Copies of this chain bind each other. A is one copy, B any other.
Amino acid sequence: MNTDERNILLKIAYDGSNFCGWQRQPGSRTVCGELETVLSRLCGINIKLDAVSRTDAGVHALGQQASFKGVFGLPTDRIAKAVNDALAMDRLQRVGEIAIIEAKEMPPDFHARYSSKGKRYIYRISDSAEMNVFRRNYCYQVGRPLDVSAMRKAADFIAGEHDFRCFMAMGSSPQKSTVRKIFEADVRREDEDIVFSVAGDGFLYNMVRIITGTLVETGLGRRSPEDMQKTLASLDRSEAGHTAPPQGLYLKEVFYTSPPFTART
């Protein structure tokens, strides 16, 4: 029997299509709400999760991280299976919308969010002319060919430490600073998709989706790659592109040690 308070870190994947985002809200179905309900029942205590990223409605996670503390009986190495079984669709389809990939015990002073050093998002875009009903929740279907090399050139200007105010949604709550450090920003074709991958020490509200919208406009030839510098320097949201839809965005991973990134040259 465990009588000591444990500090548990969960690595979580979820399909955000049918959730009103991560953060618990009364009357809404949220990833955090679903997980807290199941965890509280399995552990027999009231559990509150602290996650690294409060992903928006429709946004997915491949490696969200969230931690909680408590005194409870369920052994740490059985948490993932117990939660995943409880969330499974049925007896044959043993998987649900949320899956715990890993659960591990951390030192008492560890906190999923405050201890993190940064995170990586990816954004999936399809430029196929054919719209695919099966992918509507999983990528941004632009419907027209994109110039990937122009998008990559534009993304190069994002890397480094900048004031990213131009990529913050209008009406966001005030920030102490709008300066962030981007470790890596890259655009590549992967199978039939175009994937924008961006790692940084932090992101402003809607920052990845607004950068993606700006990159898509670059790929369509409506902006030149070099425009990205002017847009950044403007510090003006209206100079940046449209906000790409939430469906293509995935929280890929969270860093707990400073990642050994070197900006591409």
Contact = CB atoms under 8 A, between A and B. Distances in A.
Chain A interface size range: 20 to 34
Contact of A245 (B60, B92, B97): B92
Contact of A136 (B93, B134, B135): B93
A98 B242 contact: no
- A-B residue pairs, 3 tightest by C-beta: A95-B131, A95-B136, A15-B133
A133 B93 contact: no
A98 B15 contact: no
Interface of A: 13-15, 60, 84, 89-90, 92-99, 131-136, 138, 140-141, 143, 242, 244-245, 247
A175 to B, nearest CB: 26
Contact of A94 (B15, B95, B138, B141): B141
Contact of A92 (B13, B90, B99, B242): B242
A133 B94 CA distance: 10
Contacts of A244: 92
Of listed A135, A138, A245, residue having the most chain B CB within 10 A: A245
Contacts of A93: 136, 140-141, 245, 247
A60 B95 contact: no
Nearest to A60: B134
A254 to B, nearest CB: 18
Nearest to A141: B95
